[in-house]
Amino acid sequence: MLQKVVAPLLPLTEAFELGVVCEVFGFDRTDDGLPRYDFTLVAGSPDPVTTRFGYSIDVPYDLDALDDADLIVVPAGGTSVGVTGASVCSTEPPRLEPLFEKLRAATARGARVASLCTGAFVLGAAGLLDGRRCTTHWRHADELAARHPTARVDPDVLYIDDDPVLTSAGTSAGIDLCLHIVRKEQGSAVANGIARRMVVPPHRDGGQAQYVAMPLPACTDDSLAPLLDWISAHLGGDLDVTALAEKANMSGRTFARRFQAETGTTPARWIADQRVLAAQGLLETTDLPVELVADRVGFGSAAVMRAHFVRLRRTTPQAYRRTFRQMEPTA
């Protein structure tokens, strides 16, 4: 049960990533029927908690708060002494050893530990990335891999869940990871409710690779966003890519290029992934047979849905339903 969430902060904490943790886990949304978390900020070292913008954050130095946390989230900043091109921490590693001990103890007792962006360097220094898949901001992935040779660093993904250790890529990927944790613990309805209040997508497709060479394209009047909304509302229909290109008043080649630019993936892959998301909701909230779920979301057969489910979620529809249908309804 996800209830107590603690975020240890270090010198030069990054304000955005800290804000992500506070927004997802520290905001009271009980008026929307969503859970309220026992959320705590603590200093991760005896040093003052500062930010790169010159202001300080007054939080207690009380690492004992981590002892019974269900989830510990280490935000970015103050974490990676000597990262190429960045001077992000004046705290020497020996002064962080009490925090490292708490993080190791947390995973040993079954709690989850997550990092946002360069917070992965803290988990690495604590020995929690050894032998694990992990990620961080693509600019610092090589440095993380060099410092921790046994860690399997993947610079192309938005986040990695190597339970009980979870890591995210840079900046807004922290939102993706936090919502993933909520979805995993409490289901899509809760994660989608939080995402709706935050005005962010509950799930993003693609990975970091799409951001390395260029930023996300601006949302313009000729964006594919209206078409994507239409597709999401008609997943059970025949979404032939040629017909979609015609609907967008584009040639097939232009449509494929524009779709890749705006979503980071192909039309067929994006549609399949959206169908998996729709199937998750039906598997969680209904007792419909898997074959009927597959038909309703547009896969046509349970076998096809199973293949895409395993690809995207690393589990079968039946196993997913067993896990999430057993959860108690959120008060």
Q: What is the DSSP string of 63-98?
A: GGGGTT-SEEEE-SBS--TT-TT-----S-HHHHHH
pLDDT for res 320: 82
Note the pLDDT of residue 291.
96
Q: Which amino acid is at 329?
A: P
Residue with tokens 């039906």: 282
Average pLDDT over residues 61-86: 78
- Are residue 54 and residue 122 in the same domain, yes or no? yes
Same structural domain, 192 and 258: no
Instruction: Answer whether 0.85 is exceeded by the pTM.
Output: no
In a domain, 203, yes or no: no
* One domain for residues 179 and 38: yes
Same domain, 149 and 278: no
Confidence of residue 262 (pLDDT cuts 50, 70, 90): confident
State the CATH number of the domain containing residue 60.
Answer: 3.40.50.880
Look at the block and give the residue holding tokens 């192309």. 156
What type of residue is 217? P
Task: Please say if the pLDDT value at position 220 is more than 70.
Answer: no
What residue has token string 């936090």? 178
* 242, 165: one domain: no
Give yes or no: residues 142 and 230 share one domain: no
Residue 212 lies in a domain: no
DSSP 143-167: HHHHH-TTSEE-TTSSEEEETTEEE
Residue 81: predicted pLDDT: 42
Mean pLDDT of 100-125: 96
Q: How much is the pLDDT for 173? A: 92
In angstroms, the CA 302 to CA 244 distance is 25
- The verdict on residue 205 lying in a domain is no
- Domain-embedded: residue 42: yes
Asked if residue 194 and residue 97 are part of one domain, the reply reads: yes
- Residue 55 shares a structural domain with residue 157: yes
Which pLDDT score, from 0 to 100, does residue 216 have?
Answer: 35
Residues 194 and 228 in one domain: no
The pLDDT of residue 171:
84
Burial of 331 (0-12, 13-18, 19+ CB in 10 A): exposed
Domain boundary among 137, 167, 198: 198
Residues 14 and 155 placed together within one structural domain of the fold: yes
The CA angle 15-189-32, to the nearest 5 degrees, is 70
The confidence score (pLDDT) of residue 322 equals 81
**Same domain (yes/no): 12, 134:** yes
Is residue 150, in this structure, part of any structural domain at all?
A: yes
Same-domain status, 189 and 250: no
Residue 110 lies in a domain: yes
| Domain assignment of residue 13, yes or no | yes
Q: What is the model's pLDDT at position 213?
A: 35
The pLDDT-based confidence of 206 (bands split at 50, 70, 90) is: low
What's the domain range around 181?
A: 4-198
pLDDT at 166 over 50: yes
Kindly report, residue by residue over 19-65, the tens digit of the pLDDT.
999 999 999 999 999 999 999 999 999 989 998 888 999 999 999 99
Q: For residues 327 and 18, which has the higher predicted lDDT (pLDDT)?
A: 18
| Domains in the chain, number | 2
215 domain-assigned: no
